[in-house]
Amino acid sequence: MDDPTLPEMTQQECWELLRARELGRLAFTIVDEQHITPINYAVDDSGGDPTLLFRTAPGTKLLAVELGHEVAFEVDDVAGETAVSVVVRGRARHLEEDEAHRAEQLPLRPWLGSPKYDVVEIVPTAVTGRRFELSRPWLHLRLDR
Amino acid sequence: MDDPTLPEMTQQECWELLRARELGRLAFTIVDEQHITPINYAVDDSGGDPTLLFRTAPGTKLLAVELGHEVAFEVDDVAGETAVSVVVRGRARHLEEDEAHRAEQLPLRPWLGSPKYDVVEIVPTAVTGRRFELSRPWLHLRLDR
């Protein structure tokens, strides 16, 4: 999917998908170890430009945030023969207590309740989206058998 | 989702999900740049232990493979109030011409046809899967309004 001829989505279309979904995948690196994990997120507009917020318990994701590395986040959607995928690249930062309340205004919860959690914000540096047509010639091959 | 109390999936359950899906997300790093991209993949058993194959055109993904970094790959599925997510970590390698034919036996095509493609294999070093209950208290909040 590096094909540059693929139709890119507009910024507005990208944010529409980001606002419509609640599950994405966060990719980050810790000391050369590549990680990817699903997160429940929400778009936050309280600070002006939209950012993404998610909650997490202390652990690998939070460690990556504290280390200050760049992260990448992806959401996608498949409808019929068309798929869309939006990638947000940016820096993640651990919100201090006086900011963490922003999460309370959003439809954002840890999937499995943990009494303690931290709020992380992804501040986008680049948002890109692509649309794909799902050509699946093997489906016909299977039907022919 | 770093909560260690979350129920882990067995290796068999992980591979069942990997075999049932055709779209996943590949995370990789190039010189401190974090990337994540959707890929159409298939499980290949022709070499003994199962691996993942995908096709790609020359570009970012292939560059990461040539650089030999570790990659991480994720698939997930949401059904009702339950979600599952499987993460494969491993090394990606670019298949030489005499091996690339393995992709022809699989339901594997680039989503948008490009006449030239390369076949990449992900050789897993770790496969882990988790199950989540989707608690969504804000759904009730919204309904109450």
CATH number at residue A124: 2.30.110.10
A16 lies in some domain: yes
Classify residue A52: in a domain, yes or no.
yes
Q: Is the dihedral of CA B39, A25, A50, A80 positive or negative?
A: positive
Q: What is the ipTM of this complex?
A: 0.83
Nearest 5°: the CA angle A94, A95, A101 is 145
Q: Does A30 touch chain B (CB under 8 A)?
A: no
Pick the residue from chain A with its C-alpha nearest to B134. Answer: A111
Any domain includes A85: yes
CB contact under 8 A, B1 and A29: no
Single-letter residue type at A62:
L
Alpha-carbon distance B76 to B134, whole Å?
13
DSSP state of B10: P
Give the number of domains in chain A.
1
B118-142 pLDDT, tens digit per residue, is 889 999 999 999 987 766 654 444 3
Asked if the structure places residue B44 within a domain, the reply is: yes
Scanning A108-137 for CB atoms below 8 A from B yields 108-114, 132-137
Contact B70 A32 (CB under 8 A): yes
Domain that holds residue A130: 11-144
β-bridge mates for residue A24, sequence order: A39
pLDDT in tens, chain A (145 residues): 445 446 789 999 999 999 999 899 999 988 888 999 998 899 999 888 999 999 887 777 777 777 777 899 999 998 877 889 999 999 999 888 888 888 887 877 655 555 557 889 999 999 999 987 766 654 444 333 3
Residue B88, burial from CB neighbour count under 10 angstroms (0-12, 13-18, 19+):
buried
Whether B21 maps to a domain, the answer reads: yes
Instruction: Classify residue A5: in a domain, yes or no.
Output: no
Helix (H) or strand (E) holding B31: none
Residue of B22, B26, B36 for testing the chain A interface, max A β-carbons within 10 Å? B36
As given in the structure block, the two tokens for residue B22 are 């055709």
With CB atoms and an 8 Å threshold, state whether B36 touches A87.
yes
Which residues does B137 contact at the CB level (< 8 Å), separation at least 6?
A109
